[in-house]
Amino acid sequence: MSAVVVVGAQWGDEGKGKVIDFLAQQADMVVRHQGGNNAGHTVVVGDEEYRLHLIPSGILYGDKLCVIASGVVIDPRVLFEEMDYLARRGIGTDRLRISSQAHLIMPYHARMDALSEDRLGVNKLGTTLRGIGPAYMDKAARVGLRVGDLLQPQAFAVRLKRVLDEKNRLFARAYDVEGFDYDELLQTYLSYGEQLRPYVANTSVIINDAIDAGSRVLFEGAQGTMLDIDHGTYPFVTSSHPVAGGACIGAGVGPTKISQVYGVVKAYTSRVGDGPFPSELLNALGSDIRDRGHEYGTTTGRPRRIGWLDSVVLRHAARVNGLTGIAVTRLDVLDGLPELKIAVAYRYHGELMQEFPDNAEMIDEVEPVYETLPGWSQSINQVRQFEDLPDQARAYLTRISELIQVPLVLVSVGRERTNTIPLTALF
């Protein structure tokens, strides 16, 4: 039995796409199980760069079944755009399966995302404005529309009418903006339904059958632990469960079936969007790392906030995900820095804290306590063996693993599939 969950250990954009692409070489199936097109996963193969938002990164291989499971929220327009984008680059999507239970992102969700951010003003969350939060709100409120509904046109028409009437009343009365036209929306979504029909399946059965048959299944997490709605920096989080348990819920797979949980750790920290970030570098060094690392959002193009690696965050990630290994990415971005810092604890009103605070007010006031390690001067982009890394780079990696008590299983030293150092058998 081999089911591997890959999660982001920080605030997203850790390089999950790159790590998934590397692991997918050995997998039979790749599953997206939460989030939606707020994700932006980049994979570089040779001279080609692919940016994926909804479709699992395994699609780039010709022989992997790719599944969008029930925990994902799907904007069909974005999905079709992504399928076209891949088709234009010679990549077929007939190996894609989509859960009938996945919820749909409707145009009113994206509108509501923008209106609510606008109303929050300076307190905004800095969402991706893709309608993710409002779609998950409707799911929890039990007024969501699902992929499977599109395949039952008459029932869909009735449900849409009921939901849209309510949404339009809200737009008019609470926001004083125009609503959406029922007939137009109905026709658009029913035609989406016909396009989706060949891909729709009971994905929990497909995934469990594959695991039981001894296939290798890879779960591609989106976002990161600190963006989890329960275990992240609430309210500055996304509306799904990026932690490992989210794979079980979002894919319909029991926890007993998961064999490994790998956390992807960027060798420093980044965050896009608002909210607390204790080890943030609000100085020239932060800008320098942003520039050398081209740290701009894959989905929204926003500059990412940059900070030192934070082992308090990583210890939290190790615990709430039950990490069995870490994959450290972007180590090459640190080439040439004379010294590196790692936050090893926080100080709160003079007291030392080892664990990430569970209280939003405290998080705003903590001061990181840093440990300083020497940097390395050479370029590590071409290194393919752990032993060939500079001593200082090995010491940095070893210290990270030691601080969080999780073994290092992979190091990434560049964007391409080949710039990767696996340390152990990964499945």
Task: Tell me how far apart the alpha carbons of residues 167 and 169 are, in angstroms, rounded to a whole number.
Answer: 5
Task: Select from ligand IMO, Mg ion, ligand GDP, none the partner in contact with residue 415, using the beta carbon and a kind-dependent cut-off of 5 to 8 Å.
Answer: ligand GDP
- The answer to whether 29 and 64 are in contact (CB under 8 A) is yes
Task: Tell me how far apart the alpha carbons of residues 156 and 161 are, in angstroms, rounded to a whole number.
Answer: 8
- The answer to whether 193 and 153 are in contact (CB under 8 A) is yes
Between the alpha carbon of residue 36 and those of residues 131, 178, 242, 303, 397, the distances in Å are 9, 26, 11, 21, 32
Q: Please select the residue that binds ligand GDP; options are 65, 206, 237, 333, rule is CB under 6 A.
A: 333
- The answer to whether 68 and 54 are in contact (CB under 8 A) is yes
CB of 224 to Mg ion, least distance (A): 9
- The answer to whether 1 and 214 are in contact (CB under 8 A) is yes
What tokens does 146 get?
A: 């699902």
Q: Is 316 a catalytic residue?
A: no
Nearest of 184, 195, 197 to residue 157 by alpha carbon: 184
Task: Select from Mg ion, ligand GDP, ligand IMO, none the partner in contact with residue 126, using the beta carbon and a kind-dependent cut-off of 5 to 8 Å.
Answer: ligand IMO
Closer Cβ to ligand GDP, 128 or 324, answer by number = 128
CB of 297 to ligand IMO, least distance (A): 7
- The answer to whether 43 and 17 are in contact (CB under 8 A) is yes
Closer Cβ to ligand IMO, 76 or 131, answer by number = 131
Q: Please select the residue that binds ligand IMO; options are 222, 389, 400, 406, rule is CB under 6 A.
A: 222
Q: For 253-256, which contacts have Cβ atoms below 8 Å and span 24 or more sequence positions?
A: 253/3, 253/204, 253/207, 253/208, 253/211
Under the binding rule (CB under 6 A), the answer on residue 223 touching ligand IMO is: yes
Under the binding rule (CB under 6 A), the answer on residue 132 touching ligand IMO is: yes
Task: Select from ligand GDP, ligand IMO, Mg ion, none the partner in contact with residue 38, using the beta carbon and a kind-dependent cut-off of 5 to 8 Å.
Answer: ligand IMO
CB of 14 to ligand IMO, least distance (A): 7
Under the binding rule (CB under 6 A), the answer on residue 273 touching ligand IMO is: yes
CB of 317 to Mg ion, least distance (A): 17
Under the binding rule (CB under 6 A), the answer on residue 17 touching ligand GDP is: yes
Region label for 274, one of left (φ > 0), alpha (ψ between -120 and 50) or beta (otherwise): beta
Under the binding rule (CB under 6 A), the answer on residue 151 touching ligand GDP is: no
CB of 57 to ligand GDP, least distance (A): 8
Closer Cβ to ligand IMO, 237 or 389, answer by number = 237
How many other C-beta atoms lie within 10 A of the C-beta of residue 63?
8
What tokens does 315 get?
A: 């210890």
Site mask for ligand GDP (CB under 6 A), range 275-314, x = bound = -----------------------x----------------
Under the binding rule (CB under 6 A), the answer on residue 227 touching ligand IMO is: yes
Q: Please select the residue that binds ligand IMO; options are 34, 57, 101, 128, rule is CB under 6 A.
A: 128
Q: Is 41 a catalytic residue?
A: yes
Annotated active-site residue in 21, 28, 33, 41: 41
Quickly list DSSP for 243-308.
STHHHHHHHT--GGG--EEEEEEESSEEE-SSS--TTB--SHHHHHHHHHTT-B-TTT-PBPEEE-
The answer to whether the Cα torsion of 414, 417, 422, 427 is positive or negative is positive
How many other C-beta atoms lie within 10 A of the C-beta of residue 374?
15
Q: Please select the residue that binds ligand GDP; options are 6, 14, 132, 243, rule is CB under 6 A.
A: 14
CB of 27 to ligand GDP, least distance (A): 16
Site mask for ligand IMO (CB under 6 A), range 284-313, x = bound = --------------x---------------
List the interface residues with Mg ion, window 151-190 (CB under 5 A).
Answer: none
Under the binding rule (CB under 6 A), the answer on residue 8 touching ligand GDP is: yes
Closer Cβ to Mg ion, 16 or 111, answer by number = 16
Q: Please select the residue that binds ligand IMO; options are 32, 64, 130, 266, rule is CB under 6 A.
A: 130
Closer Cβ to ligand GDP, 203 or 412, answer by number = 412
Q: Please select the residue that binds Mg ion; options are 40, 193, 246, 286, rule is CB under 5 A.
A: 40
What tokens does 234 get?
A: 């609430």
Task: Tell me how far apart the alpha carbons of residues 181 and 178 are, in angstroms, rounded to a whole number.
Answer: 9
At 328 the three-state DSSP class reads strand
Under the binding rule (CB under 6 A), the answer on residue 329 touching ligand GDP is: yes
Task: Tell me how far apart the alpha carbons of residues 390 and 375 are, in angstroms, rounded to a whole number.
Answer: 9
Task: Tell me how far apart the alpha carbons of residues 419 and 408 are, in angstroms, rounded to a whole number.
Answer: 16
Enumerate binding residues for ligand GDP (CB under 6 A): 8, 12-18, 40-42, 44, 298, 329-330, 332-333, 412-415
Residues that are catalytic: 13, 41
Enumerate binding residues for Mg ion (CB under 5 A): 13, 40, 298
